[in-house]
Amino acid sequence: MMQNTTINLANPDIMKDFGASMTTVEWVLTANMLAYTSFIVLMGRLGDAVGRKKMFSLGLVGYMLGGFLAGIAPSIGFLIASSALQGLGASAMMPATTSLIAANFDKDERGGAMGAWGAVTGLAVVVGPLIGGALAKDGLGPALNALIGVGQGWRYIFFLSAFLGLVVLALTLAFIPESRDESIRFRFDAVGVLLSAASLFLLTFGLINGAKHYGWLYRNEPFAIGSFVLDLGKWSPTPIFLALAVALGAIFVVREGKKPTPLFDAALFRDRNFTGGTIVTAVLQFAMMGTFFLMPFFLKSVLGLDSFKAGLAMIPMAIAVMAVSPLAGILSDRIGAKWVIFVGMLFMSFACFFIARLSPATTLGSLVLPFVLLGIGIGLPMSPSTSSALRDVPVEKVGGASGTLSMVRQIGAILGIALIATAFGTAMPGNMQKRVAAMTVPEARLERKFDRVKAMMLDGMQGSGSEMSSDMSQYNDRLALFFPNQADADEVAGTIKTAVLSGMSDSMNDAFRYAAIAPLLGAFAALFMGGKPGKKEDGEADSETDGEANGNVGPDPLAVQG
């Protein structure tokens, strides 16, 4: 998380150093996300079969190797491939983090452990941009850069991942006990792996590029790989990718349902805690990542902060997440996750509505309270949703369950970025036109010329108001023709810039209101989850007893039903 929240800050430097386009450089993070999402279900199940510590360690080695290779990348293609290797390593690591916690802590202790896990996540969200922004700008400083022989700051972001990986690997080998499902005789299912990987790849690819490039229904640009171009006229290829993803996913689920040791165990969803926790996790990631996409954009593009200062501005939110997450985990162990999650989702929804008052006049001080509320809203449900989802899953199946949970978490994050970005972009033209149409200048002598400038701008915005920029250099030559007096030109330029920034802010406010709806759905899902740990709900069976009665070793997931 620390690295992936940082990479976008380094994109301009990567573009410059390799002479690559923004579309190409975007593949550094996209390749990572595609590899991560496509193989996460397989890696979680492999952890159950061959050992969760082993899979975590192997994934960590792959992640470190990918980071080192990315740091020394001689070309943009090499960098993209190295980032994909990191994503593959992360797909082995992430399910193992939650499954190792579940395997090494009793049910009534997992909340506190997951709380610590959630607190570190909150730390990474803010530390990433702060450290990454500083590294991308200056590296390790002129003296150390010269000593090491690396002058491009963005490379240190990847080297840092490799170094931290070494520390984590040493601690893992020293302290974490191994655990696995001894009853599994795992057989590699090539068809199942291909079906799941293809389905998740197409889903992720469609969601990312539908928002960025191709459009959702009508085409923004054609789909092209090398010399191959898929031109569907006015229609976007995105619906084809998503339809294929759903079809292949359905075939995969049906096929796996017939296997004794499936990669994806649909029976897990018979447990209402797993189902509720999975829904809450997806909703939380949707709202959280959508918010993390918008806020830095506002802080940098509207308020004019650099990446480091934008990271500093978000520290109150990170502090709230780090403070609340352990408390939420302890509370969920004592009173149950349901109400902790419910309250957290309401906090998050209120915070998104509260934030949706942005304008060019917004001060950093006015953002502290909504950021703290948002941090509470993130921190309260983060760890309880995960620990509750895995609470009644048998230990021997926790790797596959963690893989499913991680997959849903990632899809929720991608959906949040894609749909919130789409809501922002869709609202932009109308809001821009309204703000430009409402522009006035106080000086009557400038009014006639200003109206002509405004009319020209409105005519140019008929295609897309979202193309407008707050960089006034693009307007300076035109304004000089209308307003030879520099003071008059500066006054008009300031009016235009305020209108453009206000249009951006209005569009962000619209998107935040959409983001605020998702946590309400999460709060509703939380109400259907089980209650206090150790307390059986009506109709809920004793999983360990039923498991023994059925001749199973350990608890039977099919017996845990609401």
Q: What is the pLDDT of residue 79?
A: 93
In a domain, 504, yes or no: yes
Among left, alpha and beta (phi > 0; psi -120 to 50; other), residue 319 is: alpha
| pLDDT beneath 70: ranges in the chain | 8-9, 22, 126, 182-188, 226-227, 307, 444-445, 450, 459-482, 484, 530-562
pLDDT given at position 452: 72
In a domain, 124, yes or no: no
* In-domain check, residue 379: yes
pLDDT, position 376: 92
111 in any annotated domain? no
Residues 6+ apart with CB under 8 A from 540: 530, 560, 561, 562
Domain assignment present for 482: yes
Domain annotation covers residue 270: no
Predicted local distance difference test score (pLDDT) of residue 558: 31
d(CA 64, CA 189): 28
Domain enclosing residue 481, as ranges: 276-531
- Residue 173 confidence (pLDDT): 92
- What's the pLDDT tens digit per position in 60-94? 999 999 999 999 999 999 999 999 999 999 999 98
Partners of 230 in beta bridges = 223
**Closest by alpha carbon to 123, among 325, 265, 370, 421?**
325
Total domain count, the chain: 1
CA–CA separation, 448 vs 538, rounded Å?
Answer: 75
Q: Taking the CB of residue 124, how many other CB atoms lie within 10 A of it?
A: 18
Which pLDDT score is estimated for 541?
A: 44
Whether residue 294 is contained in a domain is answered as yes
- Confirm whether 336 is domain-assigned: yes
The confidence score (pLDDT) of residue 121 equals: 75
Residue 224 pairs in a beta bridge with 229
Distance CA 470, CA 479 (A): 15
The CATH number linked to 415 is 1.20.1250.20
